[in-house]
Amino acid sequence: MTPEQRYDLAIEWRRTSHKVRHMIRLEYRRQFGNDNSEEHWEEYLTEALNIKPFWKTAGLI
Protein backbone atom coordinates (compact mmCIF):
# COMPACT_ATOMS: atom_id res chain seq x y z
CA MET A 1 0.00 0.00 0.00
CA THR A 2 1.38 3.40 -0.95
CA PRO A 3 1.63 6.28 1.53
CA GLU A 4 -1.06 8.10 -0.44
CA GLN A 5 -3.41 5.13 -0.20
CA ARG A 6 -2.68 4.77 3.51
CA TYR A 7 -3.42 8.48 4.05
CA ASP A 8 -6.69 8.27 2.11
CA LEU A 9 -7.72 5.12 3.97
CA ALA A 10 -7.16 6.90 7.30
CA ILE A 11 -9.33 9.80 6.15
CA GLU A 12 -12.13 7.49 5.02
CA TRP A 13 -11.97 5.57 8.29
CA ARG A 14 -12.35 8.80 10.28
CA ARG A 15 -15.29 9.83 8.11
CA THR A 16 -17.05 6.51 8.70
CA SER A 17 -19.68 6.56 11.43
CA HIS A 18 -18.86 5.04 14.81
CA LYS A 19 -21.60 2.46 14.37
CA VAL A 20 -20.22 1.24 11.03
CA ARG A 21 -16.64 1.28 12.35
CA HIS A 22 -17.74 -0.85 15.27
CA MET A 23 -19.47 -3.33 12.95
CA ILE A 24 -16.38 -3.55 10.71
CA ARG A 25 -14.12 -4.20 13.71
CA LEU A 26 -16.45 -6.89 15.05
CA GLU A 27 -16.62 -8.65 11.69
CA TYR A 28 -12.84 -8.50 11.32
CA ARG A 29 -12.29 -10.00 14.77
CA ARG A 30 -14.90 -12.67 14.10
CA GLN A 31 -13.17 -13.71 10.89
CA PHE A 32 -9.51 -13.26 11.82
CA GLY A 33 -9.13 -12.80 15.58
CA ASN A 34 -7.08 -10.04 17.18
CA ASP A 35 -3.50 -10.98 16.38
CA ASN A 36 -3.04 -9.80 12.80
CA SER A 37 -0.67 -7.37 11.17
CA GLU A 38 -1.46 -3.75 10.42
CA GLU A 39 -1.09 -4.57 6.71
CA HIS A 40 -3.73 -7.29 6.99
CA TRP A 41 -6.12 -4.88 8.76
CA GLU A 42 -5.53 -2.21 6.09
CA GLU A 43 -6.27 -4.65 3.28
CA TYR A 44 -9.44 -5.78 5.02
CA LEU A 45 -10.47 -2.18 5.65
CA THR A 46 -9.86 -1.30 2.01
CA GLU A 47 -12.35 -3.99 1.02
CA ALA A 48 -14.83 -3.20 3.79
CA LEU A 49 -14.94 0.48 2.84
CA ASN A 50 -14.99 -0.38 -0.87
CA ILE A 51 -12.38 2.28 -1.54
CA LYS A 52 -10.58 0.73 -4.52
CA PRO A 53 -12.98 2.13 -7.16
CA PHE A 54 -12.25 5.64 -5.88
CA TRP A 55 -8.52 4.96 -5.90
CA LYS A 56 -8.73 3.87 -9.53
CA THR A 57 -10.47 7.07 -10.58
CA ALA A 58 -8.08 9.17 -8.46
CA GLY A 59 -5.02 7.44 -9.93
CA LEU A 60 -3.92 5.83 -6.66
CA ILE A 61 -3.98 2.35 -8.22
Summarize pLDDT for 1-56 with one digit per residue, the tens. Answer: 899 999 999 999 999 999 999 999 999 999 998 878 999 999 999 999 999 988 88
Residue 51: Cβ-neighbour burial (10 angstroms; 0-12, 13-18, 19+): buried
pLDDT of res. 60: 81
What's the one-letter identity of residue 23? Answer: M
For 49, the 3-state DSSP assignment is coil
